[in-house]
């Protein structure tokens, strides 16, 4: 008898990315049938994270299907037969001529295309929409000791006016989430939103994912990223994947959930890396960066629902570095002193 007939089928968009591929792995391990949507099923390089998964997990329960978020109706047939959808896909290339056309509009329209397909299907029970702490944090207000919770939203007008580094992503995530929330309300669709902090830890990709690369800027020498790390909210790759699955399966889950386990300053990260990884030459004189604006992300709503984080900030950096080293992605980094700029 076909094993798949006894399993729950879910769709994952953005399945070849850092979070998406790790989520696919965890879903398969939990016995789900996973339908993974990609633009080009023949692109072996893009599919690398999925093709490297153990065959005993993928042979009967991983379905790779072709779908393009930018094409209206492309997900209508893909969603049929799925009881749930994890929507992670979002443009992440910010070096574009037209951020509105190339990043923001595709993120919003892609989300609406997926959600429209869900209401056309009689099978979808819940959608987990993956937003970001970037849809919460950037209010334009430099308030000391600010605490961010699920009531906070990024100010889109501020971002589009001041254009801080990464602003197309902040705006895309904010507007896509607002579109998802409004759509769910208007169509009585069960949509749960997750707002992760910066994701640090292991990965299945053959390259260092953007978020991990940002976290490891003190090692890789990308000193232009250091101001961004002055104060950051972190979550481990596996904790966020477990949170997605937890919120999908928890009947009481509703609304928006911040998922961030640790808030840390760059000086705390310097201490961790210097003490635990002396093989790298970590810059310690960062006074030129100034003092960080202290803020915290309140993840208590998720924890009150019963979710427990497993990993510390030390675990995140240890696991990220180990994964990079195993893949040969940090070769010779320890021999290159970093210079403040």
**Is residue 243's pLDDT more than 60?**
yes
**Is residue 211's pLDDT more than 50?**
yes
Distance of CA 192 to the CA centre of its chain: 15
**Is residue 93's pLDDT more than 80?**
no
| Cα end-to-end distance, the chain, whole Å | 63
Q: Count CB atoms within 10 A of the CB of residue 9.
A: 18
> What residues act catalytically?
173
Considering only residues 89 and 96, tell me which one the structure prediction assigns the higher pLDDT. Answer: 89
Considering only residues 209 and 337, tell me which one the structure prediction assigns the higher pLDDT. Answer: 209
Token pair of 284 as six digits: 């310690």
* pLDDT average, residue stretch 225-238: 94
Distance between CA atoms of 107 and 167, rounded to whole angstroms? 14
pLDDT tens readout for residues 58-84: 999 999 999 999 999 999 999 999 999
pLDDT band at 142 (very low <50, low <70, confident <90, very high): low
Q: What is the pTM of this model?
A: 0.93
pLDDT tens readout for residues 14-71: 999 999 999 999 999 999 999 999 999 999 999 999 999 999 999 999 999 999 999 9
The fraction of the chain above a pLDDT of 70, given in percent, is 94
């Amino acid at each position: 008898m076909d094993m798949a007939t006894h399993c729950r089928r879910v769709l994952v968009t953005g399945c070849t990315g850092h979070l998406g591929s790790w989520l696919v792995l965890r879903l398969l391990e939990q016995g789900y049938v996973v339908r993974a949507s990609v633009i080009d099923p023949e692109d072996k390089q893009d599919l690398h994270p999925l093709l490297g998964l153990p065959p005993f997990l993928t042979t009967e329960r991983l379905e790779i299907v072709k779908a393009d978020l930018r094409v209206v109706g492309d997900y209508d047939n893909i969603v049929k037969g799925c009881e749930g959808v994890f929507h992670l896909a979002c443009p992440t290339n910010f070096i574009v001529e037209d951020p509105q056309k190339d990043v923001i509009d595709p993120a919003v329209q892609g989300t609406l295309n997926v959600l429209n397909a869900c209401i056309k299907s009689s099978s979808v029970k819940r959608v987990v929409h993956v937003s970001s702490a970037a849809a919460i944090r950037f209010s334009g207000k430099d308030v000391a000791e600010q605490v961010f919770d699920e009531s906070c939203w990024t100010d889109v007008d501020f971002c589009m006016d001041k254009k801080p580094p990464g602003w197309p992503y902040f705006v895309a995530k904010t507007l896509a989430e607002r579109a998802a929330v409004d759509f769910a309300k208007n169509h009585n669709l069960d949509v749960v939103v997750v707002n992760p902090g910066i994701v640090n830890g292991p990965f299945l990709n053959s390259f260092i994912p953007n978020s991990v690369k940002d976290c490891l800027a003190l090692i890789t020498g990308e000193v232009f990223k250091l101001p961004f790390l002055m104060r950051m909210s972190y979550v481990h790759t596996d904790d966020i994947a477990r949170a997605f699955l937890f919120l999908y399966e928890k009947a009481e889950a509703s609304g928006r959930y911040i998922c961030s386990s640790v808030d840390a300053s760059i000086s705390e990260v310097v201490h961790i890396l210097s003490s635990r990884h002396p093989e790298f030459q970590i810059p310690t004189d960062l006074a030129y960066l100034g003092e960080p604006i202290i803020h915290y992300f309140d993840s208590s709503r998720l924890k009150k629902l019963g979710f427990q984080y497993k990993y510390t900030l030390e675990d995140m950096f240890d696991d990220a570095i180990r994964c990079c080293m195993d893949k040969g992605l940090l070769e010779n980094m320890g021999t290159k002193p970093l210079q403040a700029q």
